[in-house]
Amino acid sequence: DTGVSQNPRHKITKRGQNVTFRCDPISEHNRLYWYRQTLGQGPEFLTYFQNEAQLEKSRLLSDRFSAERPKGSFSTLEIQRTEQGDSAMYLCASSLAQFGEAFFGQGTRLTVV
């Protein structure tokens, strides 16, 4: 078991471009979470999936953000028309059950210039 894997680790993009991040959860985990973290803050919830179903999406998330988890395996998070305020660490986590422990990937650090 290699743990949760996120790609890319770093992404620099120009304002207005679209970016897509990938997360591969621990293989038997049916729950997958996306969080965003800025310097000095705790992780902020974005969305989560149980298998392929997206069960909750943060009200703070604008329409520029979309996430998918086809076939209940890996997940992608897309940000359209990036803004400088999107610069952050994007974290993915997975868990086996609804109350179970969640394990994080290494994160993707996004810089919008």
Partner 1 sequence: QKEVEQNSGPLSVPEGAIASLNCTYSDRGSQSFFWYRQYSGKSPELIMSIYSNGDKEDGRFTAQLNKASQYVSLLIRDSQPSDSATYLCAVNNYGQNFVFGPGTRLSVLP
Residue 30 amino acid letter:
N
Report residue 64: phi and psi, to 5°: -75, -15
Q: Would you count residue 53 as binding partner 1 (CB under 8 A)? A: no
Number of C-alpha atoms within 13 angstroms, CB side, residue 45? Answer: 10
Query: Which two structure tokens, joined as six digits, stand for 17?
Result: 């471009």
Nearest approach, Cβ of residue 100 and partner 1 (Å) = 8
CB 104 within 8 A of CB 38: no
Does 63 engage in binding with partner 1 (CB under 8 A)?
no
Query: Which residue of 60, 98, 111, 113 would you call a contact of partner 1, by CB under 8 A?
Result: 98
Q: What is the residue type of 44?
A: E
Candidate segments 18-26, 35-43, 64-72, 77-85, binder of partner 1 by CB under 8 A: 35-43
25 binds partner 1 (CB under 8 A): no
Does the CA dihedral 43-20-66-69 come out positive or negative? negative
Applying CB under 8 A, the site for partner 1 has a residue count of 24
Question: Closer to partner 1 at the Cβ: 74 or 104?
Answer: 104
* Residues in touch with partner 1 (CB under 8 A): 33, 35, 40-45, 48, 55-56, 89, 91, 93, 98-107
